[in-house]
Every structure is written in C-alpha cells, then in structure tokens.
C-alpha cells in the first residue's frame, strides 16, 4: 500500500514536472486561423500583390482579387459583383463558388503593402486617394469583423524614410491588422515588431516570401 502510494505520487510529480516543463518553454508564435472567403488587394499598388496571389495559389487557397476595390465592391462579396478587368482595374475570381456562392460576405482581407507611383498612376490614384481608399476599407473590415492580414514582402525597396509613400501605406494598414506577415528584409529596422508589440498583433516573419505558402496553408486550410 505504501509502495503503491509512493509510486502514484512519483508518477504525479513527474506528470506535474513535465507539464510545468512544457508550459515553461517559449511557445512558438501561434498562427491565428482565418476563414474563407478571402479577398486579396493591394495597399499602394506595387506588384507585390501578385506575389501574394501566387502564394495563395501555391498554398491552394481559393481567393478573389481586386487591386483597387471600394467598400461597395467588398460589400458585394464573392464574385465582386461580376466586375470585369479594365485599364487600371483588375479582378480575378478564384473563390470556390460551390462553397461560397457569389455574394457571400468576405471573412478575410489580405492587404499586400507596397507603394508604387507607377501602379497608383495606372489606376488613376494618388498617394492621398489610395490612403483614403485604404482607410475606408479598414473601417469597413473592422465594423464587419473581417479578419485583416497585412503582408509586406517587397523588402528594402518597398521601405523608406518615415513619412515616405511606403511607410504611409504601412501606417494605413499594419496597425489595424489582425495578423502581420513580413519577410526578414522588409523588417530589417524592426518597424513591424514595434507595430505588432504596440498593438498586440501576432507577427510572423519569414526569410523569403515563398515560406508564406506554408503559413497560408495553416491559416486557411
């Protein structure tokens, strides 16, 4: 009886110790889950949004894409009201229409951050009008509980001095995101760490953009 008791207590002690050990370890950054359907868009009209589209494709995540959606277009949900691409306006519909028929409200929006004057010019936008558009989209997402993912994969070429176009795009989106994903060379100065810490937003940093494929799989699938 005595033996049995000591054995039980020993097992119990080991169990407690193991549990403590597990919980005392630094947990790997938890990857939050996001739901489909998802709309990918650009914050600043740089070609980096193509990178994000490709990452979604490689991860097998069905998505809709519009480079310059308005709040009304986002409200229209999956299919983006059957709008067609034209000069300075691009739409792609890859959502699974059987699971999410046209008109289904988006549950996630991904913003690919990076300013391109050429890209904005092609869409008839200025930095100011792009920022205004982004602000209205962020407001809409927050009011409607749409999960916001901010991605910066452009590296140093899509960063700049405080107040520059690229930094203003970051300010317009990243602090309001539910998840930030950046490449290492986009975050050399730790700017995204600061935003994530200040706003308590999960931040995932990768060495190169292709690693985001695996992250997307974990987030969406």
Partner 1 sequence: MNRPLTTKLILLAVTCLILIPGSIHLYQHRHFNTPIVQGPGVTQVVHLSHYFSGLKGTQADTPVFILQGKKPGGKILIMANTHSNEPAGMLAAVIFIENALVQQGTVYIIPVFNNSGSRTTKPGDGYPLYFEIKTPWGKRRFRMGNRNASPLDQWPDPDVYIHYPDRQLLSFIDARNTNRTWPGRPNGLLMERVTYAAMELLRQEKVDLAIDLHGAETMFPVTNCIVAPEKSIKLATLTSLTVKALEGFDNHVEPSPSKFRGLSHREIGDYSETLPFLLEAPIPFLDQPTGPKTVELLLEGKDPFLLRLAKKKKLFVPYDKTGWPMAKRVGQHCSVILELIRQYSRKNPERAIKLTNVPRYREVVAKGVGYFFRNPEKADREKIVDI
Q: Is 53 in the site for partner 1 (CB under 8 A)?
A: yes
Choice from 31, 32, 54, 89 touching partner 1 (CB under 8 A): 54
Among 31, 32, 47, 214, binds partner 1 (CB under 8 A): 47
Q: How far is the CB of 205 from partner 1 (least distance, A)?
A: 15
Q: Which is nearer to partner 1, 47 or 202 (CB)?
A: 47
With respect to partner 1, which residue has the nearer C-beta, 92 or 193?
92
User: Per rule CB under 8 A, is residue 208 in the interface with partner 1?
Assistant: yes
Question: For residues 91 and 74, what is the distance between their CA atoms, to the nearest angstrom?
Answer: 12
Instruction: Name the residue among 106, 115, 117, 125 with its Cα closest to residue 168.
Output: 115
The answer to whether 41 contacts partner 1 (rule: CB under 8 A) is: no
- Sheet containing 38-43: which strands, arranged edge to edge? 91-93, 64-66, 38-43, 108-113, 147-152, 179-183, 203-206
Residues 101-140, mask of contacts with partner 1 (x by CB under 8 A):
-----------------xx---------------------
Q: Which long-range contacts (CB under 8 A, 24 or more apart) does 163-166 make?
A: 164/115, 165/44, 165/115, 165/117, 165/127, 166/44, 166/113, 166/114, 166/115
Report the alpha-carbon distance of residue 30 to residue 216 in Å, rounded.
13
CB of 175 to partner 1, least distance (A): 27
Residues near partner 1 (CB under 8 A) are 47, 50-51, 53-54, 57-58, 87, 90, 118-119, 157, 207-211
């Amino acid at each position: 009886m005595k033996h049995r008791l000591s054995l039980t207590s020993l097992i119990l002690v080991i169990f407690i110790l193991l549990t403590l050990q597990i919980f005392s370890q630094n947990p790997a950054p938890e990857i939050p889950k996001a739901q489909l359907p998802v709309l990918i868009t650009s914050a600043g009209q740089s070609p980096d949004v193509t990178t994000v589209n490709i990452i979604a494709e490689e991860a097998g995540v069905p998505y809709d894409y519009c480079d310059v959606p308005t709040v009304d277009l986002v409200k229209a949900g999956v299919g983006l009201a059957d709008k067609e691409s034209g000069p300075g306006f691009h739409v792609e519909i890859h959502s699974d229409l059987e699971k999410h028929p046209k008109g289904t409200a988006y549950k996630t929006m991904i913003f690919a951050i990076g300013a391109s004057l050429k890209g904005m010019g092609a869409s008839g936008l200025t930095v100011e009008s792009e920022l205004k558009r982004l602000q209205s989209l962020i407001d809409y997402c927050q009011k409607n509980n749409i999960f916001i993912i901010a991605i910066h994969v452009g590296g140093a070429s899509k960063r700049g001095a405080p107040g520059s176009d690229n930094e203003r795009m970051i300010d317009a989106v990243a602090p309001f995101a539910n998840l930030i994903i950046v490449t290492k060379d986009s975050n050399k100065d730790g700017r995204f760490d600061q935003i994530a810490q200040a706003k308590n937003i999960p931040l995932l940093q990768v060495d190169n953009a292709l690693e985001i494929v695996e992250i997307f799989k974990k987030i969406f699938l």
